[in-house]
C-alpha cells in the first residue's frame, strides 16, 4: 500500500519553491536586522556557552515594554508553545474544565487534556465568530477553572472588542477563574486590548515573536503574569539551562526596531488579505467567514462546493507550490469545510495563490458543484 502523502515533509523538501501560506508565519520583516545580529553573535561564538538562564535582561525588559503591562514578571520559553504547556500543567488538575472554542488553536486543548482537564468547546463558526461574555457566563459550571481567550483568534482571524475583553476579564475575576490570554497575533490587530489590564490577578498573557517578528524557526516566546504566578508556573520549566542564545539575540534585534518596520508589515499583510478576498469572491461557492482579519490569516469556506480541504491542500501544494492548511487541524466540527490561508508574505507569493486557487478548486470540486471555468 502506498504511504499517505506527508504534506509537511513534501513542503519542507521543496521549501525554496513554495509559497508558504500555511502556518501564519511572517516573511516580511527586513531580513538584514536578524542577519546582522546573528552574524555578530556567531562571530563571537555565543553558541558555545549556555545563555544566562532566566533570559537576557535586555530582552526581558524589551518584552515587558513591548506588551506595556505593569507589575508583571516575564518568563522566556522555547516559543509560546512551551509556556502554554507549562501553564496547563501548573494551573489545571484532573477533572477541571476550560472554556474554549471550536475552531481554535487546538494544540492548547491537547495540553489541557494532558493535565487531565478537558476543554468545553463553544461553537463559534457563526457570527460573530468569537466567544461572547454571555456565552462564557452560561457555560461556566462547578468544574470550570480557566477561560482560554486567544485574541486575535487562530484560525478565523476574528478579534475581541475592548468592551468584550473587559467583560470576559470581569467574569474571570468575579468567578475566580484563570484567564489564559494568548496574544500571539496582537500586533496585527489595531486597537487590541489586553485582558490583564482588567483582571491583572487572574490573567496569564502568552506572547510570541514567531509571528510579529518573523522568528518562528528560532522558537522563542513566553508569558507574563504576576510574579507569584510566574513562580508557580515556572516550576514546570524543563528548559532549565535557558532558551537558545541565538534566538534571544534575534528577538532583541527585532523588538528593538519593531516600531520602525511593523507598520509596513501590517500594510502589506492587509493588501494581501484584500487580494485573497477578491480571488475568493471570484470563485462561486467559496466564502470568507471573517473579513477583514485582525491577524495575518483567515479561513476560506469551501463547504458549499463539497470540496475536501485535504484534497485542495494537496492539489495547491503539489501542482502549484502553494501551501495552505486544511481545517481539520483546527476544528473537529467544521474543519471539513475550510482551509486556512496566511498572508504575511511577499506580493509574489500572493500572485501565485491568486492564479492557483480558482484552478485548484475546479480541479478538486465534485463534478456537480464545480464552479464554472
Ligand X SMILES: Cc1ncc(COP(=O)(O)O)c(C=O)c1O
Site of interaction with ligand X (CB under 6 A): 24, 79-81, 105, 150, 154, 182, 184, 208, 210, 216, 221
Closest separation between CB of residue 148 and ligand X, Å?
10
Closest separation between CB of residue 363 and ligand X, Å?
28
Closest CB to ligand X among residues 130, 320: 130
Closest separation between CB of residue 332 and ligand X, Å?
17
Closest separation between CB of residue 211 and ligand X, Å?
7
Q: Which residue's CB comes closest to ligand X?
A: 79
Grid cell of 352 as nine digits: 501565485
Contact indicator for 257, 62 with CB cutoff of 8 Å:
no
**Cα distance between residue 35 and residue 195, in whole Å:** 34
**Cα distance between residue 304 and residue 237, in whole Å:** 46
Closest separation between CB of residue 276 and ligand X, Å?
18
Closest CB to ligand X among residues 24, 286: 24
Three-point CA angle 238, 147, 160, nearest 5°: 110
Burial of 45 (0-12, 13-18, 19+ CB in 10 A): exposed
CA distances from 31 to 174, 212, 253, 255 (A): 46, 13, 11, 14
Closest separation between CB of residue 289 and ligand X, Å?
17
Closest separation between CB of residue 22 and ligand X, Å?
10
Closest CB to ligand X among residues 216, 339: 216
Of all helices (H) and strands (E), which one includes residue 317? helix 309-320
User: How many CB atoms are closer than 10 A to CB 64?
Assistant: 16
Closest CB to ligand X among residues 212, 308: 212
Grid cell of 273 as nine digits: 488579505
Closest separation between CB of residue 285 and ligand X, Å?
28
**Cα distance between residue 177 and residue 224, in whole Å:** 17
Closest CB to ligand X among residues 105, 262: 105
32 contact partners, CB below 8 Å, separation of at least 6:
none
SS3 per residue for 165-224: HHHHHHHHHHCCCEEEEECCCHHHCCCCCCHHHCCCCCEEEEEECCCCCCCHHHCCEEEE
CA distances from 143 to 112, 120, 248, 302 (A): 14, 11, 39, 37
Grid cell of 356 as nine digits: 492557483
Three-point CA angle 27, 14, 334, nearest 5°: 70
Strand partners, 318: none
Would you say how long the chain is, in residues? 373
Grid cell of 283 as nine digits: 470563485
Closest CB to ligand X among residues 81, 344: 81
Closest separation between CB of residue 260 and ligand X, Å?
22
Closest CB to ligand X among residues 104, 279: 104
Closest separation between CB of residue 20 and ligand X, Å?
13
Closest CB to ligand X among residues 184, 344: 184
Closest CB to ligand X among residues 184, 308: 184
Closest CB to ligand X among residues 78, 307: 78
Amino acid at each position: 500500500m502506498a504511504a499517505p502523502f506527508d504534506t509537511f515533509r513534501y513542503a519542507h523538501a521543496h521549501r525554496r519553491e513554495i509559497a508558504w501560506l500555511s502556518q501564519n508565519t511572517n516573511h516580511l520583516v527586513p531580513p538584514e536586522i536578524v542577519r546582522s545580529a546573528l552574524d555578530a553573535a556567531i562571530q563571537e561564538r555565543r553558541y558555545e556557552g549556555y545563555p544566562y538562564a532566566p533570559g537576557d535582561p535586555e530582552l526581558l525588559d524589551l518584552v515587558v515594554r513591548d506588551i506595556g503591562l505593569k507589575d508583571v514578571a516575564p518568563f522566556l520559553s522555547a516559543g509560546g508553545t512551551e509556556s502554554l504547556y507549562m501553564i496547563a500543567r501548573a494551573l489545571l488538575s484532573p477533572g477541571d474544565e476550560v472554556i474554549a472554542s471550536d475552531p481554535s488553536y487546538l494544540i492548547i486543548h491537547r495540553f489541557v487534556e494532558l493535565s487531565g482537564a478537558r476543554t468545553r468547546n463553544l461553537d463559534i463558526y457563526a457570527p460573530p465568530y468569537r466567544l461572547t461574555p454571555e456565552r462564557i457566563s452560561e457555560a461556566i459550571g462547578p468544574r470550570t477553572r480557566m477561560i482560554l481567550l486567544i485574541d486575535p483568534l487562530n484560525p478565523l482571524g476574528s478579534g475581541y472588542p475592548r468592551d468584550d475583553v473587559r467583560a470576559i476579564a470581569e467574569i474571570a475575576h468575579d468567578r475566580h477563574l484563570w484567564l489564559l490570554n494568548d496574544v500571539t497575533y496582537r500586533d496585527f490587530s489595531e486597537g487590541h486590548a489586553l485582558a490583564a489590564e482588567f483582571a491583572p490577578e487572574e490573567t496569564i498573557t502568552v506572547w510570541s515573536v514567531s509571528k510579529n517578528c518573523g522568528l518562528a524557526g528560532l522558537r522563542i516566546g513566553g508569558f507574563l503574569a504576576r510574579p507569584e504566578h510566574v513562580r508557580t508556573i515556572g516550576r514546570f520549566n524543563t528548559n532549565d539551562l535557558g532558551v537558545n542564545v541565538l534566538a534571544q539575540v534575534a528577538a532583541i534585534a527585532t523588538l528593538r526596531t519593531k516600531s520602525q518596520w511593523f507598520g509596513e508589515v501590517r500594510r502589506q499583510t492587509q493588501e494581501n488579505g484584500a487580494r485573497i478576498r477578491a480571488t475568493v469572491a471570484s470563485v462561486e461557492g467559496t466564502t470568507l467567514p471573517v473579513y477583514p482579519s485582525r491577524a495575518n490569516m483567515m479561513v476560506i469556506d469551501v463547504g458549499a462546493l463539497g470540496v475536501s480541504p485535504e484534497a485542495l491542500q494537496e492539489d495547491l501544494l503539489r501542482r502549484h507550490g502553494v501551501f495552505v492548511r486544511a481545517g481539520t487541524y483546527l476544528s473537529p466540527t467544521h474543519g471539513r469545510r475550510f482551509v486556512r490561508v496566511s498572508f504575511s508574505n511577499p506580493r509574489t507569493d500572493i500572485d501565485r495563490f491568486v492564479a492557483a486557487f480558482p484552478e485548484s478548486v475546479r480541479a478538486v470540486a465534485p463534478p456537480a458543484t464545480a464552479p464554472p471555468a
